Amino acid sequence: MKIKEETIKELNQLPPYQLSKVYDFIQAIKKEPLPAQPSRNRQTSYLRAREILKKCSGSLADDIAADRDDRV
């Protein structure tokens, strides 16, 4: 809990107008949604990419290789 104690110590030294800013910041942080689990987020991104690519005809690998050949 050292960080909490240090934060309280710093807060006690702030003038009221700065303390008000810190309070607003804390309220904003509390309203933020919790971050998604990384593995779940990757899974969602993967499924979304698959859904988008399903609509494409042909091979994505062939398109990438052809694009690279154009640059060489």
Q: What's the residue count for the chain? A: 72
- Segment 5-34 mean pLDDT: 91
Predicted TM-score (pTM) of the model is: 0.42
Domain span including residue 24? 2-71
- What confidence tens digit (pLDDT) does each residue in 29-70 have? 888 887 766 666 777 888 888 888 888 888 888 888 888 877
pLDDT in the model for residue 24: 93
* 8 pLDDT above the threshold of 90: yes
Residue 21 has pLDDT above 70, yes or no: yes
Closest to 14 measured CA to CA, from 2, 5, 23: 23
Alpha carbons 70 and 22: distance in angstroms, whole number:
55
